[in-house]
Structure 1
Amino acid sequence: MTNSYKIEVDASRKLFVAAVGGSFQISDAGGLAMAFLMEGSKIQSQTSEYTFVADLSELENVEPSLLDMLEQAFKMYSSIGFKKLYVIESKSAATRQQIREAAEKMNFGGEFVSNMNEIA
């Protein structure tokens, strides 16, 4: 695996956090999706009470072949019914631009922030 990812539910703060770091490749997508579904099932009836956070601060690179998949992920996050959506931007300027472009293509309604402290 070329990256690390972690999906967790913080019930006390009502946060659903998907953290992805490293260089994301197609071989990583299946594991991430499975982890997302497993953790998501824990809050399925309470999704509207939770804030979704995509922590991409440690994401170094997204292969160009995965940009369509990234757009689909943004669509999925938007359609699930979370209370709010946040993306913690990558420290990499190139990756930050890739993510913003993917979000713009599908009119992502979330907010981009620099770190977890900016999440309301």
Structure 2
Amino acid sequence: MTNSYKIEVDPSRKLFIVAVGGSFQISDAGGLAMSFLMEGSKIQSQTSEYTFVADLSELESVEPALLDMLEQAFKMYSSIGFHKLYVVESKSAATAGQIRAAAEKMNFGGEFVQSMDGIV
């Protein structure tokens, strides 16, 4: 699926949201990284005031080849200095399990929630 992601900066709620859905593929990774850098530059001096949210609720599947890249992404998100980190889990149990495993592998310090309502 092309463009299976969207990045939103919500200054009023101090949220930096990366929403990924569908069947995320290697061909999507480069575009997501570029969008992340572009949107992230808008809050660069205020990162510590923002909460990072990876909204994966609509993510149906992740190519196995992307799991290493996912671990690297979790490391990057953890190192940037966001105030808090959240992952909204996929509705797909198998995909949620893959994501949790990748996060645990690198000791991701964020919190997993079932929906955007769980973001504090």
TM-score after normalising by structure 2:
0.98
1:7, 1:17 within 8 Å by CA — same for their partners in 2?
yes
Partner of residue 24, structure 1: 24
The separation in 2 between residues aligned to 1:83 and 1:9, in whole angstroms, is 14
Partner of residue 108, structure 1: 108
Paired amino acid for 2:81: G
Give the SS at the match of 2:12. coil
Q: Where does the alignment leave 5 or more consecutive residues of structure 2 unmatched?
A: none
1:4 Cα deviation after fit: 1.6
Percent identity between matched residues is 87
Partner of residue 98, structure 1: 98
1:26, 1:66 within 8 Å by CA — same for their partners in 2?
yes
Counting only pairs closer than 5 Å after superposition, residues 20-99 of structure 1 correspond to structure 2 as: 20-99=20-99
Aligned residues: 120
Give the SS at the match of 2:23. strand
Paired amino acid for 1:36: F
The separation in 1 between residues aligned to 2:111 and 2:3, in whole angstroms, is 24
The separation in 1 between residues aligned to 2:66 and 2:77, in whole angstroms, is 17
After superposition, what is the alpha-carbon deviation per residue over 1:27-85, rounded to whole angstroms, capped at 9, x for unaligned?
00000001100100000000000000000000000011110000000000000000000
TM-score after normalising by structure 1:
0.98
Q: Once superposed, what is the RMSD of the aligned Cα atoms?
A: 0.8
1:53, 1:88 within 8 Å by CA — same for their partners in 2?
yes
Paired amino acid for 1:17: I
The separation in 2 between residues aligned to 1:113 and 1:2, in whole angstroms, is 26
Give the SS at the match of 1:16. strand
